[in-house]
Structure 1
Amino acid sequence: MKLCAGVAKVEITTNVEGVMISDPLYAKALVLDDGTTKAVILAMDALAIGGLGDVKDDFLPKLRSRIQNELDIPGSNVLVNASHTHPQGRLLCDDAEQVNRTFEAVRQAMFHMTEVKVGWGIGYEDRISVNRNLKMKNGKHWSIRYAHPCPSDEDVADVGPIDPEIGVLRIDRIDGSPLAVVYNFASHLLIGVPDRGVTANFPGFASKVIEENLGHGAMALFLQGAGGDILELYFKDVNRPRNCEPLGTLLGLSTLKAVRKIQTREAQLSVLSETIKLPRKTDIPERIEARLQEQNELLATLRSTCLNFKTFLPLYMKYALNPQYPADYAYRYLQEARIGSKELTSMDAHNRENIDIYLRNIHTMEKLIRINEDIATMQFHKMLNDKAGVPDIPAEVQGIKIGDCVLITAPAELLVEVGLKLKQSSPYEHTFIAAFSNGYMHYAAPAYHYELGGYEVTECLLAPEWQAAYEEKAIDIIHRL
């Protein structure tokens, strides 16, 4: 039997009255069957698959069980990826409806199966994302977040890497018309749209661009990649509306450019899924204590401040506009020098000292905001680990091979360097990283990041040893597919 495929989508947007909906959210299903193996790829406009947001921990086992029992597809052959779109309040329909509607998408896709050919390729888009872990001159990380200020520009040494690749899987009907495009890209979905309603974010706009251009009822399925530390470029921009549509349009057009270069062919299908155990962090109390000590040291510097904001701002502007003669016209200073007076220059020295103290206190406040956020975050994750009562977390690693294209999953927010390393280690040129899949265990950062102080190693359940264990299993599965 030749490879067959079917696609379908159902809306899963919240039905809570009064919630503003900018664009609908979907569960999109792609079912594949080569006569020997069946697989399902589900792309959900959701924050996470369990553990965070509207999708509960029992969603995946319930959905897989129903697919296996009613559609005869092994549950372990079902990949469910969350786009990681960030909600303003409730995002999805109620818990039972999520299972029912997502299952219905798979059922409809099976009903519309047709013989297909597939192809794979790589697109490129480096204009819409940035690594949020700024590399500081002191060797540490400072993460760009909405919850706290960015660091002083003079303290920033460099930015981290991004993954500009768009992994593309093209699926055509036998007559050559497009049936589906699966595209894989790494970036958080945070900006939203100007009215701040529920939105699929920039992949929603990208998928619309792809589908409208391809026609023939083709469906675009977005799979979130290793985007744990990747942000939309304009996330902190205060000079333009918070509108992700231009970013989505760029991504959609870049994906289409890759799609049109791909040649489709016959292909076989294989799936492997195994569960490993990843170690939990045990040093959170020590890290909290270190941050508390840093907090106390900074607080101790907030003394002897003469100015308040009302007096600081006009002084700062005056001394910034004319550093040489801030208090008055130049002739006043020249006359003062001629008669041997130092009234103006003494006043300037006093004012400059107070301005510098106030500016230093502002920077201290910004650091304290970040420290307070870090402490609260670590306390929350310590509570989660303590509540679990076990030293490790089960983590499913799944691989799906379609022809010479491989998808490898992680149930966590993989940071980009982990994804790039997996791609480099894979024997397959077209290896796509589907993080945020089949579960959720918060951030998964490279082991060496743990001493650098970024956000992802603060909001983290995993000990640094997770990386070696995960990568070993992921590469093992890729080689065995």
Structure 2
Amino acid sequence: MMRLLVAALVLGTMGSVPASAGELRVGAAREVITPPPGTPMAGYYFERAAEEVHDDLFAKAIVIESGEMRAALVALDVITTTRDLVVDARRAIEEATGIPGDHVMISATHAHTGPVIADRSRRSQSLGGGSDLSQRYREGLPAKIAEAVRRADAAKVPAKASAARGSESSIAFNRRFHMVDGSVGWNPGKRNPRIVKPAGVIDPSVPIVYFESLDGDPLAVYVNYAVHLDNVGGPAISADLPHTLSKLIAEFKGPEVVTVFTAGCCGDINHIDVFWAEPQKGFENAARMGIILAAEVLRNWPKLEDVEDVALRIDREMVALPLPEISPEDVPEAEAVVERHRSGSTPQPSFLETVNAYKVLDVAARDGEPNEVEVQVIALGDLIAWVSLPGEIFVELGLEIKQDSPFQHTIIAELANGSIGYIPSRRAHGQGNYEVVSARCAEGSGEMLVDAAVRMLKALHGEAIKE
């Protein structure tokens, strides 16, 4: 354990960037990133390919400039980000705009109706990521992300920012439940009589940041909410909930406004109310959720408060997260399970056997090297801070960060600047089931991320107060 702690400290803080006060300038843009037909789609443990497009996927970017400092907030309508993708996109952004790559936060909305984002993981390679279409999509994505940022940067105008926070508790639910046999179940099904109660909470907060020109022209709306985007399934490309959210805000503020949605900490949160018998699936439910979330944003529009201090402060840390323990014997067993799963031979492995097998192979491939992940904070004055976290984060970890953050509006974007998959809390590790079985990091890793985020938040806020 001491060796891992030392590794975390050696990777350590990358050093905060000093504040830059001055006129606030903001630009926003979106770039279509819809994949071609036939592209393997992400989200599940079986292969499927895109057959049609229900609505386009976008890379959406907001560029914020204060004095000599610039930062970019980017959201992608895809399942995840990978570290290699972020490195490539940041390099392209820096070349196109001069914005330092370390000042760019790139997150995924976690839509399950988008393309596989090819990487070196065994699951990605086995379930479509190794295909020519997936490889070509991944190779072309950094340039499209950079183009969104370039256009946003070129569109900057003198601007002002305002912020508010809503609360919406009717479309997000903890998907882990205490069961009558003493276990903790995962997605146990609607009206399951064996459910006792939820095993966790939700985060109902809806942070809203609005940017407009000094002439009152709308530029961008940033909305964050903690819920899995898994309404639709099937072979049609869709951004899920953010499609309706963006459409409705555009009806209110005009077609030029860019609505950026990011996923809060929702590793154990989904859209399914198990106590409601009606099905909750398909484009209809995605639209329903988008309408409700848009209504909450618009309901709180009169509560937007101007941001007076617009100095930008940026910090980031690389944190070494330990690997879960596996034994040498686990690897050949995992290979056999994956082969049975892929070939369709009978008997098929159980779902959790399959999940564990892919995890074992990914962990073994690291050859003992811990996961080096990034936590980033971009602060606007002493009021707003955006935090990136590198995976599907359990909700209680996000709530801990918000509770300990000195910023009034602390906005956490998960699946940002790379992802290592599920990151459960210590409490959840003792309960087991899907997310814990899937986790590529050891118990306590989530709390290490909380510590890093809170440390940077306090330091940046302290700098703001001193000035």
TM bucket normalised to smaller: 0.7 to 0.9
Q: Could you tell me how far 1:101 is from its partner in structure 2?
A: 1.4
> Are the structure 2 counterparts of residues 88 and 102 from structure 1 closer, same or farther at C-alpha, using a change threshold of 3 Å?
closer
Q: Identify the residue that residue 189 of structure 1 maps to in structure 2.
A: 229
Q: Could you tell me how far 1:45 is from its partner in structure 2?
A: 0.3
Q: Identify the residue that residue 331 of structure 1 maps to in structure 2.
A: none
Gaps of 5+ in 2: 1-21, 39-49, 118-133, 332-346, 461-467
Cα distance in 2 for partners of 1:392, 1:400 equals 26
Q: Identify the residue that residue 214 of structure 2 maps to in structure 1.
A: 174
> Are the structure 2 counterparts of residues 152 and 180 from structure 1 closer, same or farther at C-alpha, using a change threshold of 3 Å?
closer
Q: Identify the residue that residue 67 of structure 2 maps to in structure 1.
A: 35
- Which of the residues 146, 150, 169 maps onto 1:126? 169
Q: Identify the residue that residue 379 of structure 1 maps to in structure 2.
A: 357
The answer on whether the counterparts of 2:78 and 2:114 sit within 8 Å (CA) in structure 1 is no
Is residue 2:130 matched to residue 1:87? no
Matched positions, count: 391
> Are the structure 2 counterparts of residues 239 and 48 from structure 1 closer, same or farther at C-alpha, using a change threshold of 3 Å?
closer
Q: Could you tell me how far 1:375 is from its partner in structure 2?
A: 2.0
One-letter identity of the residue aligned with 2:175: R
Cα distance in 2 for partners of 1:59, 1:237 equals 41
Gaps of 5+ in 1: 51-56, 289-368
Cα distance in 2 for partners of 1:241, 1:389 equals 40
Moved more, 435-444 or 68-77: 68-77
Give RMSD over aligned pairs: 2.6
The superposition leaves residues 37-92 of structure 1 with CA deviations (integer Å, 9 ceiling, x where unpaired) of 21010011010002xxxxxx532111111222331111111000100000276688
Q: Identity over aligned residues, as a percent?
A: 27
Cα distance in 1 for partners of 2:367, 2:329 equals 19
Q: Identify the residue that residue 302 of structure 1 maps to in structure 2.
A: none
Q: Identify the residue that residue 65 of structure 1 maps to in structure 2.
A: 91
Q: Map residues 9-408 of structure 1 onto 2, 5 A cutoff.
A: 9-16=30-37, 19-50=51-82, 57-87=83-113, 94-144=137-187, 152-192=192-232, 197-215=236-254, 217-233=256-272, 239=279, 242=282, 243=284, 244-266=286-308, 267-283=310-326, 372-403=350-381, 404-408=383-387
Q: Identify the residue that residue 310 of structure 1 maps to in structure 2.
A: none
Q: Which has the larger radius of gyration?
A: 1
- Which of the residues 411, 430, 433 maps onto 2:390? 411
One-letter identity of the residue aligned with 2:421: H
SS of residue matched to 1:28: strand
The superposition leaves residues 404-457 of structure 1 with CA deviations (integer Å, 9 ceiling, x where unpaired) of 111111111001111111111111121111111000101011112112123210
One-letter identity of the residue aligned with 2:153: M
The answer on whether the counterparts of 2:425 and 2:447 sit within 8 Å (CA) in structure 1 is no
Q: Could you tell me how far 1:390 is from its partner in structure 2?
A: 2.5
Cα distance in 2 for partners of 1:43, 1:249 equals 20
SS of residue matched to 2:305: coil
> Are the structure 2 counterparts of residues 461 and 241 from structure 1 closer, same or farther at C-alpha, using a change threshold of 3 Å?
closer
Q: Could you tell me how far 1:8 is from its partner in structure 2?
A: 0.6
The answer on whether the counterparts of 2:326 and 2:360 sit within 8 Å (CA) in structure 1 is no
The answer on whether the counterparts of 1:284 and 1:382 sit within 8 Å (CA) in structure 2 is no
The answer on whether the counterparts of 2:96 and 2:146 sit within 8 Å (CA) in structure 1 is no
Q: Could you tell me how far 1:283 is from its partner in structure 2?
A: 4.8
> Are the structure 2 counterparts of residues 433 and 90 from structure 1 closer, same or farther at C-alpha, using a change threshold of 3 Å?
closer
Q: Could you tell me how far 1:394 is from its partner in structure 2?
A: 0.4
Cα distance in 2 for partners of 1:88, 1:276 equals 29
Cα distance in 1 for partners of 2:227, 2:280 equals 20
Q: Identify the residue that residue 464 of structure 1 maps to in structure 2.
A: 443
Cα distance in 2 for partners of 1:160, 1:73 equals 40
The answer on whether the counterparts of 1:139 and 1:452 sit within 8 Å (CA) in structure 2 is no
One-letter identity of the residue aligned with 2:448: A
Q: Identify the residue that residue 321 of structure 1 maps to in structure 2.
A: none
Q: Could you tell me how far 1:374 is from its partner in structure 2?
A: 1.5
- Which of the residues 29, 38, 45 maps onto 1:8? 29
SS of residue matched to 1:382: helix
Cα distance in 2 for partners of 1:90, 1:278 equals 25
The answer on whether the counterparts of 1:30 and 1:40 sit within 8 Å (CA) in structure 2 is yes
Cα distance in 1 for partners of 2:219, 2:277 equals 38
The superposition leaves residues 352-400 of structure 1 with CA deviations (integer Å, 9 ceiling, x where unpaired) of xxxxxxxxxxxxxxxxx99922222112101100011124100100001
Q: Identify the residue that residue 441 of structure 1 maps to in structure 2.
A: 420
The superposition leaves residues 118-158 of structure 1 with CA deviations (integer Å, 9 ceiling, x where unpaired) of 1111011111111101122444311107xxx6794134234
> Are the structure 2 counterparts of residues 173 and 391 from structure 1 closer, same or farther at C-alpha, using a change threshold of 3 Å?
same
SS of residue matched to 1:217: coil
Q: Could you tell me how far 1:211 is from its partner in structure 2?
A: 1.8
Q: Identify the residue that residue 307 of structure 1 maps to in structure 2.
A: none
> Are the structure 2 counterparts of residues 114 and 370 from structure 1 closer, same or farther at C-alpha, using a change threshold of 3 Å?
farther
SS of residue matched to 2:397: helix
SS of residue matched to 2:223: strand
